[in-house]
Structure 1
């Protein structure tokens, strides 16, 4: 295996790890929804979304990553979580 193939194999493994972590994160939407129902909260929690984005941007800054791209990624993750919560509550359009 060439050096490039080795690096690509490592990237492939990391990609699978990222997918697994996204899956775990989205699975937590059910617990989040249950807590929001208990506290009589709306699914979309704008203030918490800002907390998550700020935390991600701060972590990206510490790692010298492109904060704009990290913000985009986390906005997608937040959207996925909100969509899953709507789906679980019976309000979603997903199958």
Structure 2
């Protein structure tokens, strides 16, 4: 399993108009990109990193599934929908041990 987390710092608070665009992009990604175990948009509730207000939290079955997602048209469409709103991102990719308790 492969963990892919993207922390996002927007220029300004995200507008309500962006939500339907993200919802559509996420549905498309789930439909077009096999090998996704988990794929969700979550708020960052941490008080120590308020600049990064949201994150994309995703888990892929294989490295190949993660690579295919990154190269997909659906991923590009999501980037197109959100890029203008984001000032900075931090990406974490890691192997997720399957035998953890």
* TM-score, normalised via structure 2 length: 0.34
More strand by share: 2
Which has the bigger relative contact order, CA under 8 A and spacing at least 6?
2
More helix by share: 1
